[in-house]
């Protein structure tokens, strides 16, 4: 369930503080410590999954749940236009190896991402 040396597992356990915006039995959402947009929070599964590359039939239900949570939290915040990003692997920009979805809003977004 938890990985001992994982930063986000430590946030789930409460060993490292975070500014939470949502929590339930399966996932939690908290503001990014280095925001890349006026609104920038992360949604993570509580169970350790390394990245999008580790999603399979045994753990994919939480991903659907996370997208429901993203829709609910953004609605509650009054945010209608937002981007959801999950970096998978160092070359794609992943710095924390625990599956997370960035939710970014509050500014114009460009495409393609860098």
* Closest CA relative to residue 86, chosen from 47, 45, 39, 46: 45
102 belongs to the catalytic site: no
Among the candidate windows 25-33, 57-65, 68-76, 105-113, which touches ligand AMP by CB under 6 A? 25-33
Binding of ligand AMP by 74 (CB under 6 A): no
How far is it, in rounded angstroms, from Cα 17 to Cα 100? 17
Two tokens, residue 75:
């609605």
Among the candidate windows 32-40, 59-67, 68-76, 104-112, which touches ligand AMP by CB under 6 A? 32-40
Among 34, 56, 57, 111, binds ligand AMP (CB under 6 A): 34
Binding of ligand AMP by 95 (CB under 6 A): yes
* Closest CA relative to residue 70, chosen from 42, 51, 49, 46: 42
Three-state secondary-structure class, residue 104: strand
Which residues of this protein are in contact with ligand AMP, per CB under 6 A? 7, 16, 18, 30, 32-34, 42, 87, 93-96
């Amino acid at each position: 369930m938890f990985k001992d040396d994982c930063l986000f597992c430590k946030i789930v356990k409460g060993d490292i503080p975070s500014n939470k915006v949502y929590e339930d039995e399966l996932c939690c959402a908290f503001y990014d410590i280095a925001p890349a947009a006026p609104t920038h929070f992360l949604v993570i599964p509580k169970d350790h999954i390394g990245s999008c590359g580790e999603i399979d039939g045994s753990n994919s239900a939480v991903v659907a749940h996370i997208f429901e949570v993203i829709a609910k939290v953004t609605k509650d915040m009054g945010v209608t236009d937002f981007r959801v990003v999950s970096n998978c692997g160092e070359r794609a920009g992943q710095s924390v190896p625990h599956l997370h979805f960035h939710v970014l809003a509050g500014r114009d977004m460009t495409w393609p991402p860098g």
